[in-house]
Amino acid sequence: MPGERRSRFKQWLSRPPRPHGSVIHDRRVSFLEVFYDLVYVGVIGQASHQLAQDISARGVVEFAIMFGLIWFAWINGSLYVELHGGEDGRTRNIVVAQMCILALLAVFTSGAADRDGTPFSVVYSAFLLFMTWLWYTVRGQDRDRPEFLVVTGRYVIAMVVSAAVILASGFLAPVPRLFVWAAFAATWFGGLLIARRAQTVLSLGTTATDSLVERFGTFTIIVMGEVVLGVVAGLVSAKRDGVTIVVGLLSLWIGFGFWWIYFDLVGRRLPRNGPALTNWVLSHFPITLSIVAAGAAIVSLIGHAHDASAPEATAWLLAGAVALGLLALIVIGQSLLDAERLSSVYRPLSIVLGIGAVAALVVGWARPAPWLLAAVLSVLWAFGWRPRTYVKVAVRLPRSAHLTRLY
Task: State in Å, rounded, how far the first CA of the chain is from the last one.
Answer: 58
Which structural domain, as residue segments, surrounds residue 323?
209-407
Domain presence at residue 13: no
268: left (phi over 0), alpha (psi -120 to 50) or beta: left
Q: Are residues 172 and 320 in the same domain?
A: no
Checking if the pLDDT of 170 tops 70, the result is yes
Per residue in 344-398, pLDDT tens? 778 888 888 899 999 999 999 999 999 999 999 988 766 555 544 443 444 334 4
Domain presence at residue 16: no
Q: What is the pLDDT of residue 401?
A: 40
Which of 149, 180, 206 marks a domain boundary?
A: 206
The total of structural domains in the chain comes to: 2
396: nearest Cα among 345, 350, 348: 345
Domain presence at residue 317: yes
Paired residues of 336 in beta bridges:
271
Neighbours of 239 (CB within 10 A): 10
Q: Are residues 158 and 188 in the same domain?
A: yes
Domain presence at residue 12: no
Q: Are 236 and 303 in contact (CB under 8 A)?
A: no
Q: Count of alpha carbons within 13 Å of 215, Cβ hemisphere only?
A: 26
Paired residues of 403 in beta bridges:
400
Q: Are residues 391 and 277 in the same domain?
A: yes
Domain presence at residue 2: no
Q: Are residues 345 and 310 in the same domain?
A: yes
Q: What is the pLDDT of residue 316?
A: 96
What's 400's DSSP letter? Answer: B
Domain presence at residue 3: no
* 167 pLDDT tier (thresholds 50, 70, 90): very high
Which of 206, 234, 262 marks a domain boundary?
A: 206
Q: Are residues 278 and 307 in the same domain?
A: yes
Return d(Cα 279, Cα 272) in angstroms, integer: 10
What's 336's DSSP letter? Answer: B
Which of 181, 206, 231 marks a domain boundary?
A: 206
Question: According to DSSP H, which parts of 195-274 are helical?
Answer: 201-205, 210-223, 225-237, 242-265
Q: Are residues 194 and 59 in the same domain?
A: yes
Q: Are residues 319 and 369 in the same domain?
A: yes
Q: CA 48 → CA 40, 69, 76, 215, 378, distances in Å?
A: 12, 14, 21, 22, 21
Per residue in 315-344, pLDDT tens? 999 999 999 999 999 999 889 988 888 877
Instruction: Quote the mean pLDDT of the chain.
Output: 84
Domain presence at residue 255: yes
Q: Are residues 361 and 295 in the same domain?
A: yes
Q: CA 266 → CA 33, 294, 339, distances in Å?
A: 20, 20, 10
219: left (phi over 0), alpha (psi -120 to 50) or beta: alpha
Question: According to the per-residue pLDDT averaged within each range, which of 3-7, 96-100, 336-340 is highest?
Answer: 96-100
Return d(Cα 188, Cα 195) in angstroms, integer: 10
Domain presence at residue 8: no
Q: What is the pLDDT of residue 62?
A: 94
Checking if the pLDDT of 52 tops 60, the result is yes
List all residues 6 or more positions away from 144 whose beta carbon is below 8 Å from its beta carbon: none
- Give the 3-state secondary structure of residue 342: coil
**Secondary structure (DSSP) of 71-119:** HHHHHHHHHHHHHH--SSHHHHHHHHHHHHHHHHHHHHHTTTTTTTHHH
Q: Are residues 101 and 124 in the same domain?
A: yes
Q: Are residues 50 and 108 in the same domain?
A: yes
Record the pTM. 0.88
Tell me the one-letter amino acid at 76: N
Neighbours of 57 (CB within 10 A): 10
Q: Are residues 157 and 302 in the same domain?
A: no
Return d(Cα 32, Cα 152) in angstroms, integer: 25
Q: Are residues 303 and 402 in the same domain?
A: yes
Longest dimension (CA), the chain: 77
